[in-house]
Structure 1
Amino acid sequence: MLALVLSQWLTTSQIRRITGAKVYEDKVIYRGKVARYEYDDVVSYGGKVFPLQKRWKGKKLYVRADQLAPLLIHMGGSWMWDAAAKRFFRGKPNIRFLMGKVGDGYRITITSKSGKYRVSEGEDSIAVVVRGLYGKFWRIVGDGNFVSVVKVIQYRDSTRFVIHLGARANGYTVAERRGTLRINISKLQPKRAERITVVIDPGHGGKDAGAVGNGYREKDINLSVALKVAALLREKGYRVILTRSKDRYVSLYSRARLANRSGAHLFVSIHCNASRDPNASGMETYFLSESRTSQERAVAILENSAIRYDIGFVEPKEPVGAILGDLLQNLLLEQSYRLAMSIHGTALEMALAKDRGVKQAGFYVLKWVMMPSVLVELGFITNRREAKKLANGKYQDRLAKAIALGIEKYIRKQQGGK
């Protein structure tokens, strides 16, 4: 509840007094129009979805005012939220923002009557400050390939767009003409590394702890096992890239982008599972596809939860098959399945854990990589006995050995060996 002391959180009575909007547990009423909550923190209106967080503190319901303002604009109002002053003000949108695919690339177009833009570059992002008002969205979701998300920060007389590049984005150019700014993003064409390159991805990290159970944090176990896997593979002469080598947060898109840029041959993401059932146990290995069962969907939701740190509460809409061409997608699915079977089978041969099978699910971190990729669930951190094993250094050594050996077996078979 600490977040509620921040001034962008207002009570429903404050919001009604200032804007006239009535916010309830299940809906928002404004100017005779109704927007309804589809999920806990998402409302829908006019065929669009808007993140709108709400929290109870005592008997008072608080709402994120900065998220409410764009919804009110779509409902016919003129209220905007000044991120600097932390207050509502009246304004009319006069900035046009468009983005979409153009040929093999992607284009973002920003048009403002003022014609005044300031562009700066960040880590995997482009920031554009425009003189004028936008106010229509708090976040704009991209295609995932070229743009992951655009964060919109509204001020009283200017708007800041922070464009986070997607997993397949390469370089970009910026051009301004007659009051319109165009950002053209080119497609990444990865080069294969001469040596076999494996990306090991310790799931979660930093502000994203992952699953927590029995006094253990998933992010810590993931990292410990991943470092051991990397060391074993390097001893065998493989080039290994870790998406993180310490306790820090790395977005799902940045992980995929790192793998694509490196020209890696394989991508292995390491995680721990969790369940409401404290007796659930065992190891399972996933490759990318649409989830087929409710249990597979539940695991995907758990591991995809880190996306909230990247794009708020709005989900990219591309189906799995739309990410890559069908032939390439099918080839990668087949190879990913073989990689999953090799790792999982090796772990079973070593009698490490109960067999929960090789499964399919739509994990974001696998969706954006252009190489065979799998996600290994080492065991259940919510099972007291299994959590204790997962945190044990000697057991982690055995897990790492199974994963590294499974990867090596897969590579040998792909190269025509046994």
Structure 2
Amino acid sequence: MKAIVMNLAIAASLGSVAVAQPHRHGHHVHQKRDNLHLEQRDVVTTYVPATVTQYVLGDQQVSPEEAQAGLDKGLYVVIGETTPSFTTPPAPAFTSTSSKEDGVFIEKVASTSSSPPTTSSSSTPTPSTTSTPVPTTTSTSEATQSTSYPSSGGATGIDADFPDGELDCTTFPSDYGAVALDYLGLGGWSGLQYTPNYNLLDLAISFIETGVDKPTGQKGFYSYACPAGYVKSQWPSSQGNTGQSIGGLYCNSKGKLELTRGDVSKKLCEKGIQGITIKNKMSSRTSVCRTDYPGTENMVIPIDATPGSSSDLANVASNSYYVWQGKATTLQYYVNKKGVSAEKGCRWVCDEDPKGCGNWAPVNIGVGESSDGTTYLSIFPNSAVSTATLDFNIDISGDASLDCYYHVGEGFAVSSDGCTTGIPSGGSVTITFSD
């Protein structure tokens, strides 16, 4: 019997302001054996601190520690996350006074019925070790040196049009703005979703295999990272038939890479909404890792915050960027501890500190712009899966409506559940990391 471990973390809204958390965030991992459909489960509205996480192994709930042990032993592999759920709340009034009201996170999902992305609705293939989803570990030989990833505008060809249908699928498009993540062992790609049965008329994709090695030209969708401050502009209108997000360029039957939103943009990367900067004032580096969304949704899109550096934090208009079944989505970042580089920390399992970085990083940042032009920016503990404590301060300064910070020994502004602030249209803030 195939075992499924599902980490279900629900995005939420915070009191009368907003938690700028993204899509409902939850990773799936599964055992490398037979297949088994997950039974339908009804979910009702609940009121909880931060996020709710449930790990399900078969039909039994297991602890995060047990799930991690299975990952560490190679019994499970990551296969993406659950579907998005986000509603933009009304904007708070922008005044010079600050409020520290206690907040309540709200979860509301009508129902879920999910099967592994590697399972076809018409047939049930047995996955092999070469077609199982994204690996949770990467050998240390893949990245022996730390790399500082391009800051805003630093990638080659960021403004160049992509040659649709001309490049081989075995060629990573670094000349067109994409940033190669060689440490993942996927040929530079941030995620691979093979869809051998897909055709352009499909409204939903029923069979998805998540690649674990460098691709050799398999049909499917090849996702990629962009420089800090940029987001990818390519994803198909078709998505998984059980709600999986899919993103990137399409490798067609001729072994050539195609644009998936060529009618919208001929470029691979688009500049996010400007106005949020991360500044590292520490003597140590750290890393901030965004989920690859839409796509496999692993937290692999890196910002390598070296000492003294400043990097743009990508932000998007929630209602007009990637919209999942009519629902607005936002961006989520994982903040690692001091000394954790992007190559070590921007992956599911982080060898540097298995219970304190990667998926278990201590703090999350959520961001998204609402329809009225207000950006909601939140920092909050990754309490859904992690008990780790961040070892440096985070302060938000600038055109922020409310105080929002994390201080070592003190915790978060507002409450232990985190804090959220608003940025008016055209405003700017700096997120400062300090000792």
Length-normalised TM-score, structure 1: 0.27
The structure that is strand-richer by fraction is: 1
Q: Whose Rg is larger?
A: 1
* TM-score (norm: length of structure 2): 0.26
